[in-house]
């Protein structure tokens, strides 16, 4: 049995009797140096620090022996508990949670937990904590995380966001720092402890659940327009945790919309033009999207994580590109192609006749002034092919 005991910054004094008794009977205890230092003399001296790297070593680290693990707060909240259960199964892992840093942070802020997003930057890129509104508890990787997040928020036009850094929550060294992203960009708090979380109220609040307006994306004209983007997302059908390949990404709008559509969704954006890749990166950071930006397909497809869904918005006439994408799509995976030229339509028609699927054509019009009157101005028609790989 692997018993995981959550422990707070107050150490043994904050543990329940059940957790203290469990540790008192331990023969070997694993944990990080900081967590092991919180243990007192009632716990076995056989205390082992996690190997580095830890994850590759875990499957064979314990053998069949009964071991104990100490972890920060609630081990099932972005913690080692979930990893151990995934590797060894729930029957072999017992978890004794402590009060989580998220619960403590919400208590200090007066925020209700269900209305507060939890974002972990322990392993994720800092820009993934950028939001367009709402509030969140951000789990920091180290002492530099708050200043990095403040800079990113300021750069994305959210300098009025309110940040509160909470250090050593629940322990004797607990401290609090309040400010705005703009203030901390120029004068960040000094001597932040590595053990901290950041409570963020994002300002201004301009969250949108629907397809985003075109003007919020930086682009050079290579942009899937809002109305077509909406029907394209409907065809792609994002599901929680799925990965999209956005091929010929342009401004990255489809990849970004995909990543914000459902929990755990992420994307890989493939774009041949270097300036557009930089523009995609800027858009990705502004929206806190989980998008990996790579060079053009089909060359850059090798080494990319396997997709659940592929969207081709540009380059479909490039020899071998559609075949390369289809070959890398797993059985049951979905492929959507948008075509706007006769040449790209011809490629789509050939593939439709060969493997089936559905074809649609979209034509939309925008009202505009014609002298003193209003008339319709047509946008380019879009032919869309969608197929599920057998």
Dihedral pair phi/psi, residue 123, rounded to 5°:
-125, -20
145: closest CA among 93, 213, 97, 199? 199
Residues 36 and 19 both lie in one domain: yes
**Pseudo-torsion of CA 196, 199, 202, 203, nearest 10°?**
-100
Q: What is the 3-state secondary structure (H, E, C) of 94-153?
A: EEECCCCHHHHHHHHHCCCHHHCEEEECCCCCHHHHCCCCCEEEEECCCCCHHHHHHHHH
| 367 part of a folded domain | yes
Residue 3 confidence (pLDDT): 95
Q: Which of 99, 128, 163 is where one domain is finished?
A: 99
Confirm if 196 and 178 have CB atoms less than 8 A apart: no
Residues 318 and 287 both lie in one domain: yes
Residues 116 and 35 both lie in one domain: no
Give the contacts of 379 (CB within 8 A, at least 6 positions apart). 225, 363, 364, 365, 366
Q: Which residue in this structure is represented by tokens 């997003």?
A: 117
Residues 326 and 286 both lie in one domain: yes
Task: Flag residues of the chain having pLDDT under 70.
Answer: none
Residues 335 and 276 both lie in one domain: yes
Confirm if 165 and 174 have CB atoms less than 8 A apart: no
As a whole number of angstroms, the distance between CA 191 and CA 173 comes to 13
As a whole number of angstroms, the distance between CA 345 and CA 69 comes to 59
Q: CA-based angle 71:5:11, to the nearest 5?
A: 70
Residues 156 and 68 both lie in one domain: no
As a whole number of angstroms, the distance between CA 198 and CA 280 comes to 27
As a whole number of angstroms, the distance between CA 246 and CA 255 comes to 6
Residues 379 and 244 both lie in one domain: yes
Q: What is the 3-state secondary structure (H, E, C) of 165-231?
A: EEECCCCCCCEEEEEEHHHHHHCCCCCCCCCEEEEEECCCCCCCCCCCCHHHCCCCCCCCCHHHHHH
Residues 123 and 141 both lie in one domain: yes
Residues 145 and 118 both lie in one domain: yes
Compute CA distances 233 → 9, 207, 257, 271, 357, whole Å: 45, 18, 8, 19, 17
Residues 89 and 45 both lie in one domain: yes
What is the residue range of 271's domain?
A: 226-389
Task: State pTM to two decimals.
Answer: 0.85
Residue 269 confidence (pLDDT): 97
Q: Which of 151, 185, 201 is where one domain is finished?
A: 201
Dihedral pair phi/psi, residue 195, rounded to 5°:
-90, 90
Number of domains in the chain: 3
pLDDT tens digits, 282-293: 999 999 999 999
| 206 part of a folded domain | no
| 348 part of a folded domain | yes
CATH of the domain at 32: 3.40.1010.10
Residues 239 and 352 both lie in one domain: yes
């Amino acid at each position: 049995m692997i018993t995981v005991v959550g422990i707070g910054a107050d150490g043994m004094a904050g543990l329940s009797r059940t957790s203290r008794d469990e540790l008192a009977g331990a023969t070997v205890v694993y944990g990080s140096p900081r967590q092991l230092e919180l243990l007192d003399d009632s716990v076995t001296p056989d205390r082992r620090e996690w190997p580095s790297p830890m994850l590759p070593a875990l499957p064979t680290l314990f053998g069949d022996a009964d071991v104990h693990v100490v972890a920060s707060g609630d081990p099932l909240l972005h913690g080692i508990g979930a990893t151990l259960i995934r590797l060894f199964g729930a029957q072999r892992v017992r978890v004794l949670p402590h009060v989580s840093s998220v619960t403590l942070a919400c208590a200090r802020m007066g925020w209700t937990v269900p209305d507060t997003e939890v974002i972990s930057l322990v392993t994720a890129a800092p820009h993934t904590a950028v939001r367009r509104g709402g509030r969140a508890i951000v789990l920091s990787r180290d002492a530099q995380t708050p200043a990095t997040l403040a800079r990113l928020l300021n750069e994305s036009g959210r300098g009025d966001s309110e940040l509160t850094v909470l250090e050593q929550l629940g322990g004797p060294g607990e401290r609090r720092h309040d400010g705005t992203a703009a203030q901390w960009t120029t004068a960040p708090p000094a001597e932040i402890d590595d053990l901290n979380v950041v409570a963020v109220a994002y300002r201004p609040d301009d969250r949108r659940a629907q397809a985003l307006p075109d003007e919020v994306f930086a682009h050079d004209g290579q942009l899937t327009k809002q109305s077509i983007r909406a029907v394209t997302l409907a065809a792609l059908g994002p599901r929680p945790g799925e990965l999209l390949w956005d091929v010929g990404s342009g401004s990255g709008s489809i990849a970004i919309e995909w990543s914000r559509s459902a929990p755990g969704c992420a994307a890989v954006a493939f774009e041949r033009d270097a300036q557009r890749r930089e523009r995609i990166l800027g858009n990705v950071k502004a929206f806190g999207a989980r998008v990996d930006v790579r060079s053009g397909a089909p060359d850059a497809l090798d080494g990319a994580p396997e997709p659940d869904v592929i969207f081709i918005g540009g380059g479909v006439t490039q020899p071998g590109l559609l075949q390369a994408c289809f070959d890398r799509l797993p059985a049951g995976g979905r492929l959507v192609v948008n075509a706007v030229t006769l040449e790209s339509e011809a490629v789509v028609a050939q593939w439709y006749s060969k493997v089936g699927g559905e074809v649609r054509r979209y034509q939309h019009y925008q009202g505009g002034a014609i002298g003193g009157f209003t008339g319709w101005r047509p946008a380019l028609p879009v032919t869309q092919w969608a197929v599920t790989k057998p």
